Amino acid sequence: MIDADDLIALVQNYNPKSNSELIRRAYDYGSRMHEGQTRHSGEPYFSHPVAVAAILTEQSLDDATIVTALLHDTIEDTRSTYAEIESEFGTEIAELVDGVTKLTNLQLSSVETKQAENFRKLFMAMSKDLRVILVKLADRLHNMRTIRAMKPDKQAQKARETMDIYAPLAGRMGMHSMREELEDLAFRVLNPEARNSIIRRFITLQRETGDVIQKITADIERELDKAGIKAQVFGRAKKPHSMWRKMEEKKIGFSRLSDIYGFRIIVEKDADCYAALGAVHQRWRAVPGRFKDYISQPKSNGYRSIHTTVSGRDAKRVEIQIRTREMHEVAEAGVAAHWSYRDGVPAENPFAVDPARWIASLSERFDTEDDHDEFLEHVKMEMYADQVFCFTPKGEVVKLPRGATPLDFAYAIHTRIGDSCVGAKVDGIRVPLWTRLKNGQSVDIMTAEGQRPQATWIDIVATGRAKAAIRRSLREEDRERFIKLGRELARVAFEHVGKSPSDKALKTAAKQIGIESATELLAQIGSAELTARQVIETLYPGLTQKAGEEIDAARAVVGLNPGQTFRRAACCQPVPGERIVGISYPGKGVMIHSIDCEALVEVEDEPDRWVDLHWQEGRHPAVHNVSLDLTIANDSGVLGRICTLIGEQGANISDLVFIDRKPDFYRLIVDVELRDIEHLHTAMLALEADSDVASLARHRDLERKP
């Protein structure tokens, strides 16, 4: 716990004219009131208010807010009273402490009806003095940082409340750094396995690629220097929760996650922002649809910045934000910039806005509202600024992304409503279907029997659900014709490579491409959404692969010390392209394991034996043995055909052992020599497509450890 002198020093760093005597008196008073009280961790309770005050000094806040932080739990948890604090520290601070106390007493994670009423009270309190919520957010941030000392059920409740209410509120008020940390701390409680998985994968990525942030920062600085632009460049990796949210929203794995790095360019003048943007776009290719100019069109909380995403070093997607120093202060502090100090005087930042106007107008708008649920929806509507909340004629709320149209609204209700839509009324007025909806509007969809979606609708709608439904409806109209045409195109393509378009082959190709069935695959081929050649390349890429210069198998691994030898672990049989780690064995050299090998558990407490390795980039020879567990039909010629199929993929069978023989099937382990992980996938895919292969899996044997 920092002492009074250290806290005063933190304040005087940005406000040399601060009232140090007032802060010291508040420190001593709070320490005296909380004397004898302890936290769940066993620490003195007063360490918490002091930590909250220290968090608020990072926002360069005024003395009254710092003092309120020191006293914010006195009325709630000690013998202190409002009258006593008013007498000791004045009316302004007493009202702030009382406001924080009232917010603390609100059970915001309770049932929905009560939650609506508590939200009303929360915004009413905030409208009187917004510094109340600044203290409350800092209070919640420190509680989340120290949440490990609480009981598991209490941790989960606080984390959900933080994720649902406090983190979005911090974001809505422009305090993005605080929002990100609150989300990540809650994520650590609510889904620790997912968070740890993201962190492990990111560490592995760093191990493989080196310090990408430093390299890209240097690249950007070099381009800005060439253009004669004075700027500071900062880089960072996105928070685990931010990565996880993107993976969930886009339904992709970590390996396909783009722009996990973010960079900020801080320049001196507004004009330099656009000059820096020009320098960045001249050097790197911009990613379409990822440019936003919040300088010419600022957000309602004062946020100004240019956002762009480019394909940077090694084709990695990189998000870049460009802003001036004053814009950056508002972007980091949000509403707190309204009360921040610089060199002893209130900072006059032309971009800082007073969000109290927004909160006051919100409270006034619903001051006499009787429908608490409707009030809650309006509150959420204001907090989640990137979404649009509209109403059906019956008052039901429909949540849509910003930019959505009445057609999106119709499909959000039901696909049948969307398909038969012929018009829409917004707030009782007939509007075109391409009208962009706004928060709070009431939408009435008009339908007609026999109406079918039009091809032009795809360009009108904004949601993936609507686009998919329209495409599906358009396909179904000519579905039978497309299926027939697709089957003929597939037959010709398969015969061209000496294969047959069996149902099993088509099902395997559909699964690999991500299409629901073989019939749908044929329909997409017939409608030209997919080519028959793509299907052939998916199933049999080995038939068209070209030979190139191969890497020496004895030098396939990078990261060994001179004289060190290596062997592939028999338990996991890693192949080039897989993430690997080396484990040193006395007298045996280094044994290479795949990063997910279960055998690594036995040496996880011996970090000195771990060797950071990766495969050489390039074409490897087909000498890496991998065991495949196959179940095939016991029929004439099947085994020979399977062996031929493996050979066609450029792979060699080094051993074959029968595990089980039955009248109708064989189960066997086949050792195949392969180049890399792509070669393995190619061989397995070709085998899966064969109608006589009942099951196929990679065989790993932990009994065959070093």
Q: For the residues 606-632, what does the mean pLDDT come to?
A: 88
> Which token pair is 35?
């004397």
Query: pLDDT for 469-528, tens place per residue?
Result: 887 788 677 777 788 888 888 888 888 777 888 888 898 888 888 888 898 899 888 877
Determine if residue 394 is left, alpha or beta; phi over 0 gives left, psi from -120 to 50 gives alpha, anything else beta. Answer: alpha
Of 77, 221, 488, 537, catalytic:
77
Q: For 208, phi and psi rounded to 5 degrees?
A: -80, -35
Position 435 confidence tier, pLDDT thresholds 50, 70, 90: very high
CA-to-CA distance for 61 and 53, rounded, in angstroms?
10
pLDDT of residue 273: 94
pLDDT of residue 365: 47
CA-to-CA distance for 357 and 625, rounded, in angstroms?
69
* CA distances from residue 293 to 323, 538, 552 in whole angstroms, order as listed: 10, 40, 51
* CA distances from residue 523 to 415, 503, 552, 626 in whole angstroms, order as listed: 21, 14, 46, 37
Position 382 confidence tier, pLDDT thresholds 50, 70, 90: very low
Query: pLDDT for 685-704, tens place per residue?
Result: 888 888 888 899 998 887 66
The structure tokens 């909340």 sit at 389
For residues 160 and 386, is the Cβ–Cβ distance under 8 A?
no
CA-to-CA distance for 638 and 615, rounded, in angstroms?
36
| DSSP sequence for 393-429 | TT--EEEEETT--HHHHHHHH-HHHHHTEEEEEETTE
For residues 241 and 168, is the Cβ–Cβ distance under 8 A?
no
> Which token pair is 451?
């109406």
pLDDT of residue 111: 45
Q: For the residues 150-154, what does the mean pLDDT come to?
A: 88
Q: What is the 3-state secondary structure (H, E, C) of 269-317?
A: CHHHHHHHHHHHHHHCEECCCCCEECCCCCCCCCCCCEEEEEECHHHCE
Determine if residue 427 is left, alpha or beta; phi over 0 gives left, psi from -120 to 50 gives alpha, anything else beta. Answer: left
* CA distances from residue 151 to 22, 185, 189, 462 in whole angstroms, order as listed: 37, 16, 11, 44
CA-to-CA distance for 161 and 165, rounded, in angstroms?
6
Domains of the chain: 4-190 (1.10.3210.10), 193-346 (3.30.460.10), 386-475 (3.10.20.30), 478-539 (no CATH), 553-615 (no CATH), 624-704 (3.30.70.260)
pLDDT of residue 493: 83
**77 catalytic residue (yes or no):** yes
- Residue 300, C-beta contacts closer than 8 angstroms, at least 6 positions apart: 353, 358, 385
What's the DSSP call for residue 162?
I
Q: What is the 3-state secondary structure (H, E, C) of 486-499?
A: HHHHHHHHHHHCCC
Q: For the residues 406-414, what does the mean pLDDT come to?
A: 93
Instruction: Return the SS3 of 71.
Output: helix
Query: pLDDT for 20-71, tens place per residue?
Result: 999 999 999 999 999 999 988 889 999 999 999 999 998 888 899 999 999 9
Length of the chain equals: 706
Q: What is the 3-state secondary structure (H, E, C) of 11-59?
A: HHCCCCCCCHHHHHHHHHHHHHHCCCCECCCCCECCHHHHHHHHHHHCC
What's the DSSP call for residue 442?
B
Q: What angle do CA 206, 200, 569 make, to 5 degrees?
A: 90
pLDDT of 358 above 70 = no
pLDDT of residue 369: 45
Instruction: Return the SS3 of 558.
Output: strand
The closest of 526, 599, 612 to 569, measured between CA atoms, is 599
For residues 647 and 687, is the Cβ–Cβ distance under 8 A?
no
CA-to-CA distance for 249 and 245, rounded, in angstroms?
6
CA-to-CA distance for 423 and 280, rounded, in angstroms?
44
pLDDT of residue 476: 74
Q: Which residues pair with 658 in a beta bridge?
A: 668
* CA distances from residue 93 to 82, 88, 132, 448 in whole angstroms, order as listed: 10, 10, 10, 63
Number of H helices, E strands in the chain: 28, 23
Q: What is the 3-state secondary structure (H, E, C) of 109-146?
A: CCCHHHHHHHHHHHHHHHHHCCHHHHHHHHHHHHHHHC
> Which token pair is 632?
């095939």
| DSSP sequence for 561-581 | PTT--EEE-TTT---TTS-EE
The gap between the terminal CA atoms of the chain, to the nearest Å, is: 51
pLDDT of residue 421: 94
Instruction: Give me the percent of the chain exceeding a pLDDT of 70.
Output: 84
pLDDT of residue 612: 87
Position 167 confidence tier, pLDDT thresholds 50, 70, 90: confident
pLDDT of 531 above 70 = yes
What's the DSSP call for residue 166?
I
- Residue 279, C-beta contacts closer than 8 angstroms, at least 6 positions apart: 223, 224, 226, 227, 229
Q: What is the mean pLDDT of the chain?
A: 82
Residue 197: what residue type?
S
Inter-axis angle of helices 47-57 and 63-71, nearest 10: 160
For residues 310 and 320, is the Cβ–Cβ distance under 8 A?
yes
For residues 289 and 346, is the Cβ–Cβ distance under 8 A?
no
pLDDT of residue 65: 93
> Which token pair is 542?
């080995």
Of 3, 6, 35, 76, catalytic:
76
Query: pLDDT for 304-352, tens place per residue?
Result: 899 998 886 666 778 899 999 888 888 777 766 666 666 556 666 666 6
For residues 648 and 685, is the Cβ–Cβ distance under 8 A?
no
Q: Which pTM does this prediction carry?
A: 0.52
Residue 155, CB half-sphere, CA atoms under 13 Å: how many? 17
- Ranking 233-247, 545-559, 639-653 by mean pLDDT, the lowest is 545-559
Which of the two residues, 309 and 361, has the higher pLDDT score?
309
- Ranking 148-157, 163-172, 263-272, 303-312 by mean pLDDT, the lowest is 163-172
